Amino acid sequence: MTICMEREMKQMADEALVLDLLGRERSATIEDLMSLAGMSWEQMFGLIDRLSRSGSVRLTRVGADYYVEKTGRA
């Protein structure tokens, strides 16, 4: 398997994990998701960016925190 395919499979698994967590939690802060998924800020930010652009999640700022919630398109 090529490195590119391995990276894409890892991204898909990470996306599925976060969407599953959001399915259970309804919404969570980026920091909560980082902790639950065991990811760094950079990994989680990139993941949320991809999921947001695809319409799978919505990012909302509440005070100093950013909340992520799963949309109906996920």
- 20 CA to centre of own chain: 10
Type of residue numbered 60 = T
Summarised one tens digit per residue, pLDDT across range 4-28 is: 888 888 888 999 999 999 998 888 9
Show the tokens assigned to 55: 């319409």
Q: Is the pLDDT of residue 39 over 90?
A: yes
> How high is the pLDDT of residue 73?
63
Show the tokens assigned to 46: 């990139």
